[in-house]
Amino acid sequence: MPLAWVWLRFGDLGADGVYDMLALRARVFVLEQGPFLDPDGADRSAWHLLGRKAGGELMAYLRLLDPGVKYDEVSIGRVVVDAALRGRGVGHALMREGLARCALTWPGHAVRISAQARLQRFYRQHGFETASDEYLEDGVPHVQMRRSGS
């Protein structure tokens, strides 16, 4: 299912965009994976990638943080695909869009993510390498992964 990809800064999301973003993230990160506080203060300075169906429903999302906000490197986070579209390549398309923006906005910079440990294979397909031991983040096993700048 093709999605329309749109990049926006927080101030350009509008009330409906912020609501849609938080609703999708809450469905996945809070309801599916267990309760934790999703809004962490970093959204205001992030680039937000929204993947919407033709009717406007938000189905995929990620955010990018400038180097120095979370890590020394650029950070990709809050990577989420609605359950209805998982297993259809949407996550890979989302990551390709995110990494293309990283290369455009921060050429040559490395990218770091805090990945759920069970998704390491997925992120390796996008050039990431495991860069830490496993740790718990919000009760879910994670590892840091890093992709060299290109």
First to last CA, the chain: 30
Examine residue 127 and state whether it is found in any structural domain, yes or no.
no
Strands 47-52 and 135-137: unpaired
Examine residue 124 and state whether it is found in any structural domain, yes or no.
no
**CA 13 – CA 7 distance, rounded (Å):** 9
Dump pLDDT digits (tens) for 66-122: 999 999 999 999 898 988 888 889 999 999 999 999 999 999 999 999 999 999 999
Number of domains in the chain: 1
Q: Which of 19, 72, 75 is closest to 42 using CA atoms?
A: 75
Examine residue 115 and state whether it is found in any structural domain, yes or no.
no
Dump pLDDT digits (tens) for 9-60: 888 888 778 767 777 777 676 656 665 556 666 777 889 999 998 888 889 9
> What CATH number is given to the structural domain containing 78?
3.40.630.30
- Asked whether the CA dihedral 5, 128, 31, 12 is positive or negative, the reply is negative
Q: How many residues does the chain have?
A: 150
Residue 11, both tokens: 């101030």
Q: Structure pTM?
A: 0.81
| Residue 5 pLDDT | 84
Whether the per-residue pLDDT at 143 is higher than 90: the answer is yes
Examine residue 65 and state whether it is found in any structural domain, yes or no.
yes
Residue 19, both tokens: 């609501």
Examine residue 131 and state whether it is found in any structural domain, yes or no.
no
Examine residue 33 and state whether it is found in any structural domain, yes or no.
yes
| Residue 32 pLDDT | 66
| Residue 74 pLDDT | 97
Examine residue 14 and state whether it is found in any structural domain, yes or no.
yes
Examine residue 133 and state whether it is found in any structural domain, yes or no.
no
Domain hosting residue 19, numbered range:
4-109
